Chains A and B, each alone.
Chain A
Amino acid sequence: MTTDVAPRLLEDTPLGSKAGGFYQRQSFLTGLGFGVLLAFIGWLISHATLQGSNWGSDMVVTVTMACWVVGFNVGMGTFNAPIRWALGHDQSHEDELYAAGVGQGNKRYWKFCTDHKVVGTQYLVLVIVLFAVGGSLAMMIRTQLITPHSSFLDPNTYNAIVTIHGMCMIIATIIMVTGPFTNFIMPIMIGAKDMAFPRLNAMSFWIVVSAVPCLLATFFLGGVDAGWTTYAPLSVQAPAAMDTFALTIITFVVSVTVAGINTIVTIITMRAKGMTMGRLPIFTWGSMIGSALGLYAMPAFLLVMTMMITDRAVGTSFFVAAQGGSGWLYENIFWIMGHPEVYVILLPPVAAMLEVGSTFARKPVFGYKVVVASFVAVAALSIMVWAHHMFTTGWAPDLAGPFMLTTELISIPTGIIFLSVIGTLWKGSIWTRLPMYFVYLFLWNFIIGGVTGIYLSDVPADQFFHGDMFVTAHFHYTLLGGAMIAATAALCYWFPKVSGKMFNERIGKTAFWIIAIGIQITYVGMFWEGFQGMPRRVAYYDPIFLRSNQMATGGAYLLMIGWVVLLYAIIHSWRNGKPAPANPWHAKSLEWKVPTPVPLENFLVDPVVTSDPYTYGEQVPDGQNEPSTTPEPEPELVPAGSGEQSDTGGQV
């Protein structure tokens, strides 16, 4: 029997020299090495057998990049656990502790690590990298468009950059809140020790990492000139870059599916005692509903990209009109994914922003139940609106009316989000710290983005605006001005818990103002371009559009500076910021009740919850029990099968 009084944290468990097995030797470097090696082998074999056939180079590229994805993940150790289980040599408890990062210090961030907090941090870095890449591509686009006929980029390079800017940002915005914060914060928020499937969690991260080189490889294989939506038949004719683009999507969908299942199962099965669904913080609901919607929508993306590869590489004709196929088939399946996808992007950040609003107005989330219902309604309706992206394709004109109806209906539950935010502000005690700044900016931007969406939902008006810069301005206002700003609020809010440091608010507020003004100049300029009749995705334009383009490009440079200052604030604060207390915002949800830095198992004792985290202003003791720092005494050991009950220390 131990005579220690202080609890021993799980992360301090000493491990044997063999703990972890292969994991000990695996990291990002071995992932890279194996990925390149297997890709090379795949290329050798496929080139030798297939090059010279009709669709040879498409098959070669597809096989090579698929080998990269598999090889990278083999080298990372993504598949170690299921392979060992299949071989009858399952991981031991020590192996699992090693996999959770015990005893490895900061090296665990470069490895396959099952601790949800490590995975969340890894996702945060990935998201920042993706935004940096996508943002640089955006700056190249806007630089090209400073003058009507620039010689900065040739049309093929320009079109390729437009495509990858779009796809890179789509990936980044889908994972920007669910990756870092649903992973890091949500399990603590519901009183759990980790996600339901910690290994799948790490798997989802490394799989999406392996997709990124597939995406960037497009630049070296001729470039995809069809925009991120890669409409057929143009994309069927694209160079081999399109095959690696399709593989990027397929890989990404696998990652998102794995992550989505993990999120939903965790929330349903791993809540602490007393954490009923009705007491869940709103961020948890947003994460769950967003993930569920993604599970519905993303397989359509995987499907349409698989059909694209087969049309290109093996001679199917899903999308080739000359052989009986149809471009409309592509467009329909694509948008069946593409519209729900924007709500997969929007719901988690909005839900996170509602947490921020509540904390910094010191009031409960206004209309919690109605907000949850509206999330469900938005998700349900979003699967019925897809053809509003196809109003001008000439497909099914009789369906214009029904799709106009469903699209305009979505504005009703979306409007509830606004009601909730302003209801939370109503008579609150507004604490204007940095996270709250971004909540106000969201309100401003998302009204503009949402209202302009209504113009587009009107078929006669869409017949003017479709395919022009008005559309681009609309979705940038909603995705960047809305979702990404809400995600930035979430970042500033949870930064102290994730990094252990306080975010430098002086630099942060400077970045905020530059970003806020940069957004308006850039995208109002873009609305102006659209009203004037400038098409989107053009490398050159009629000189009548000069002034509006100058405005949009000027704004873009200012916006870029703002994001760079914010990045500087993140790095500077992470390295040199003031150490953060456990609950700097005096918030009431469970993640703020655990120490910073957060112990490996989050809670030393499983919490018991007696109310939701919105008890501001109520005359009750803090609703969610402070987890005790003294653990219950170890229960008496009782032989299995003896029929005696062991004392469980009062916990069920």
Chain B
Amino acid sequence: MSFEEQADEIEHTILDGKPFFSRPAGKIFIIWLVFTVIGLLLSFYLPHHILPTLMASTGTDVFRTVVVFSVLAAPVAAFVYAVAVYSLIAWRHKGNQDEPPEDGPPMRGNGPMTVLWLTVSSVLVVVLLVWGLAVWSSQQVSHPDTLQVNVTGQQWLWTFSYPGTGVESRTLMLPVNRPVEFNVTSVDVTHGFWPVSLGTQVDANPGEVTVIRTTPNMLGGFTVRCSQLCGLYHAFMYASGAVVTPTQFSTWLQSQGASATQASQTAQTTPTNS
């Protein structure tokens, strides 16, 4: 069949002749619609309920990406499933299963359909890529009032230190609504610094300092887990963390040994007499 004939065949399949909804294309369309609606409902309902509470800008990025990608994937998955289901409803050989049925039509391919498929999948890829690059570059922006936190991983615990205060702690305290930059390293093997609810992570490598940035935007506690297998007690390598107000942060720094001046400078609060 020439390209034009094949294009006509698609058109014929979709548009002319019998009423649309009594041809295969029409029936598949209905099944596809039902599956897409189910997929979309899941895309909007599920992420909120199965993701942990996300407490930072990077967490919001994760949530939005999951929803958008699910919404875009739903019609694609629905189409494949709809054709598969319909094939079993309408084209299944129902007679004697010991003998093969009559041959189907000798369709070796369909140029226009293939072009359409490639075009749609390419457009989807471009959309996904633009979305991902936009989110990624927004995460690379440096802010002037960024809080620096040094993270050191070792077998099998995390240590957090706050430059300029001399504070070293096993708990990760962060002030809310302030950009933070984690400088992460390891003293032995590779670990994965993963403050789960902040929605970001980076490996801790011996001999390197790696950096991630985020802005916590919700008060509350969170857990730092290790996401890179690091030996015997990898499963136990976690630390507690909390996002607190700047005042609480300053108070905490002082309780860990910082002077009042250091604490207020780092927490960006006005100095108080403690």
Contacts and interface: CB of A to CB of B under 8 A. Distances in A.
A237 interface: yes
A234 B229 contact: yes
Contact of A455 (B66, B80, B228): B66
Given A428-B87, A537-B234, A618 B106 contact: yes
Interface string A443-466: 110011001001101111101101
A614 B106 CA distance: 8
A366 B189 contact: no
Interface string B29-71: 0000000000000000001001110000011011001100100
A79 interface: no
A419 interface: yes
A522 to B, nearest CB: 17
Contact of A460 (B61, B225, B238): B61
A617 B87 contact: no
A308 to B, nearest CB: 14
Nearest to A446: B80
Nearest to B127: A408
Interface in B214-260: 223, 225-236, 238
A133 to B, nearest CB: 21
A368 B47 CA distance: 39
B192 A466 contact: yes
How many A residues touch the partner, as a band?
35 or more
B88 to A, nearest CB: 7
B109 interface: yes
Contact of A231 (B100, B190, B199): B190
Given A364-B108, A617-B104, A326 B114 contact: no
A579 to B, nearest CB: 15
Interface in A503-561: 528, 531-533, 535-542
B101 interface: yes
A95 B194 CA distance: 63
A438 to B, nearest CB: 13
Contacts of A405: 129
B227 A367 contact: no
A447 B105 contact: no
Contacts of B176: none
A533 B69 CA distance: 19
Contact of A430 (B59, B93, B125): B93
A427 B107 contact: yes
Interface string A304-330: 000000000000000001100011100
A528 to B, nearest CB: 6
B201 to A, nearest CB: 5
A363 interface: yes
B146 to A, nearest CB: 16
B215 to A, nearest CB: 14
A454 B189 contact: no
Interface residues of B, number: 87
Contacts of B118: 412, 416
B121 A411 contact: yes
B105 A617 contact: yes
Contacts of A475: none
A167 B234 CA distance: 20
Given A419-B114, A425-B91, A463 B58 contact: yes
B72 to A, nearest CB: 9
Given A363-B107, A423-B110, A460-B58, A430 B87 contact: yes
Nearest to B228: A467
B121 A425 contact: no
Contacts of B91: 361, 425, 427-430
A28 interface: no
A361 B104 contact: yes
Nearest to B209: A394
B188 interface: yes
Given A233-B206, A431-B93, A531 B132 contact: no
Contact of A321 (B59, B136, B207, B227): B207
Given A231-B190, A451-B77, A463-B201, A409 B125 contact: yes
Interface string B77-92: 1001101100110011
A532 B81 contact: no
Interface string A359-371: 0011111111110
A333 interface: no
B167 interface: no
A394 B100 contact: no
A299 interface: no
Given A362-B100, A461-B65, A464-B199, A430 B210 contact: no
B22 interface: no
A397 B203 CA distance: 12
Contacts of A651: none
A416 B117 contact: yes
Nearest to A433: B97
A448 B78 CA distance: 11
B238 to A, nearest CB: 8
A366 B83 CA distance: 14
Contacts of B100: 362, 429, 431, 585-586
Contacts of A82: none
A225 B232 contact: yes
B14 interface: no
Contacts of B203: 392-394
A539 B207 CA distance: 28
A231 B192 CA distance: 12
A490 to B, nearest CB: 18
Given A370-B109, A431-B100, A467-B201, A458 B132 contact: yes
A409 B133 CA distance: 14
A401 interface: yes
B145 interface: no
B149 interface: no
A317 to B, nearest CB: 11
Contacts of B232: 155-156, 159, 225
A231 B229 contact: yes
B212 A463 contact: yes
Contacts of B199: 463-464
A226 interface: yes
A415 interface: yes
Given A415-B117, A455-B66, A539-B235, A366 B58 contact: no
B231 A225 contact: yes
Contacts of B105: 363, 427, 617
B61 to A, nearest CB: 5
A274 interface: no
A524 to B, nearest CB: 11
Contact of B210 (A394, A432, A433): A394
Given A159-B234, A328-B205, A464-B62, A533 B103 contact: no
Interface in A392-419: 392-394, 397, 400-401, 404-405, 408-409, 411-412, 415-416, 418-419
Contacts of B97: 431-433
B135 interface: yes
Given A362-B103, A362-B104, A535 B194 contact: yes
B87 A426 contact: yes
A419 B117 contact: yes
Nearest to B89: A430
B93 A370 contact: no
A386 to B, nearest CB: 16
A538 B52 contact: no
Contact of A367 (B51, B109, B201): B109
A404 B133 contact: yes
6 contacts: A234-B190, A429-B93, A443-B80, A463-B201, A463-B202, A535-B227
Interface of B: 24, 47, 50-52, 58-59, 61-62, 65-66, 69, 73, 76-77, 80-81, 83-84, 87-88, 91-93, 97, 100-110, 113-114, 117-118, 121-122, 124-125, 128-129, 131-133, 135-136, 139-140, 184, 188-190, 192, 194, 196-197, 199-203, 205-208, 210-212, 223, 225-236, 238
Given A234-B229, A392-B192, A408-B129, 5 more contacts: A393-B190, A393-B203, A416-B118, A428-B104, A429-B102
